[in-house]
Structure 1
Amino acid sequence: MERLLLTLLVVALFALGVYGMWRGWRRQARAQSVLVPPFPPVPDDRGEPVLETTGIYVATTRAGHWQQRIVTRGMGLRGPASLRLYAGGVEVDRTGRPGFWIPRESIVEAATAKGMAGKVMGTDSLLVLTWRLGDVELDTGFRGDDLAVYPQWIEQVKGGAQV
């Protein structure tokens, strides 16, 4: 009987912790929905992709604050994705989640990083695009399947080679 009560207590504490995390996530999403405008939808007439790579969409955070994940409008969930560069911008095509568009004129910087929003690696294995959305500057992180394409992405996005 004592073991059963202890087990029920542990399960109840675990459920309480999960409930608290869920409430915090929702509260953060509500607060961010006021501060962060909706992400741009992918345009229909984007043309042919210049570069394309597959991997994992890691997160979008406030620029320079790599632990402040943007969770509003479903952007906080990591998952498989494709990244495509077009003349007009970058498409982040997330599998099973809404994709979004980063307009070319909004991109401030392209670089590699070691970590972002709970995903930390020992090497610069994240491709990070810094861009403006309204008055907010964001970092979008992508972990590609082939890290060798990062220099090409950085050069193309920064405008070193014309698209």
Structure 2
Amino acid sequence: MPTLLAAAGAQDTGKHSARVTDLADRIGWIVGLALFVALVYWLMRQGWQWRRTLQGGLPALPQPPEPTGDVPEPLLTLQGRYHGSTTAGEWLDRIVVHGLGVRSKAALTLTEQGLTVDRTGAPGFHVPAAALRGARLDRAIAGKVLPEGGLLVITWEHGGTLIDSGFRSDHAAEHSAWVTAIGRLSGEHLNEAVASTDTRQDEKEGAK
């Protein structure tokens, strides 16, 4: 009888030790996972700080002009989301300064004066018509990938840097109209700039 009791006691002790070991292993895994997540978060923050330092030369974003007289009639409006901005042609080279790295809801208004972007929870900005360089349908920007043609990417120039900004309308069928309208608007201003350059060149040659 004492032998049976001793055997039972040893069995219970073994089970208890196994439970303690399992608990220790689980705690170890949880602590390790928490440390890994903290490391990834720290590396991401360091990456953003590094990008901010590199992009520190980008001027503050332009704001909509003060209304004078009649408010320009909107050519197009859009409700949707802003998905980020990158250096033009480099869909992973994210721009983070001046709030451009923050994804947010957005309302876009296009007029003959340019593009106004109002954002929820992040700074809005204005792109003068003369700074627009075109628009296209795309599927990825700033690490965000959507179905083919699911993004409206608008290219604009600011502080000597060409920027791609990605938007998605609540009604994706609207994107094509924006590509056409911005292409027309940017083309008109490009033609004006070329004509102005030619005029100045003719004036210089005439003065010789």
Match of 1:41 in 2: 63
More strand by share: 1
In 2, Cα distance between the equivalents of 1:130 and 1:159? Answer: 13
Paired residue type of 2:59? P
Counterpart Cα distance in 2 of 1:55 and 1:29: 26
Could you tell me which of 81, 98, 115 is aligned with 1:73? 98
Shift of 1:78: 1.0
Instruction: Quote the residue 1:6 is aligned against.
Output: 29
Alignment deviations for residues 120-146 of structure 1 (CA, whole Å, 9 cap, x no partner): 123211111111112111111111111
Q: Which has the higher helix share?
A: 2
Shift of 1:5: 3.1
- Could you say which structure has the larger radius of gyration? 2
User: What is the CA deviation profile of residues 38-61 of structure 1, one whole-angstrom value per residue up to 9, with x for unaligned ones?
Assistant: 221122326332210111101111
Contact (CA 8 Å) 2:74, 2:109: kept in 1 or not? yes
**Runs of at least 5 residues in structure 1 that lack an aligned partner in the other structure:** none
TM-score normalised by the chain length of structure 1 = 0.89
Question: TM-score normalised to the size of structure 2?
Answer: 0.71
**Is this contact kept in 1: 2:77–2:107, CA < 8 A?**
yes
Structure 2 residue identity aligned to 1:88: Q
Could you give the per-residue CA deviations for residues 56-98 of structure 1, whole angstroms, max 9, x where no partner exists? 1011111111111100121101111111101100011111111
The alpha carbon displacement at 1:151 in A equals 2.3
Per the alignment, residue 54 of structure 1 pairs with: 79
Which residue is equivalent to 2:20? none
| Cross-structure match for 1:25 | 48
- AA of the residue aligned to 1:96: G
* Corresponding pairs, count: 160
Q: Distance in 2 between matches of 1:106 and 1:32?
A: 19
Contact 2:85 2:95 (8 Å CA) reproduced: yes
Moved over 6 A (4+): none
Supply the RMSD in Å over aligned alpha carbons: 1.7
Greater relative contact order structure (CA < 8 Å, 6+ sep) = 1
Query: 1:113 is matched with which residue: 138, 144, 160?
Result: 138
Distance across 2 between alignment mates of 1:125 and 1:135: 28
Question: Structure 1's 16 and 89: CA in aligned 2 closer, same or farther, altered over 3 A?
Answer: same
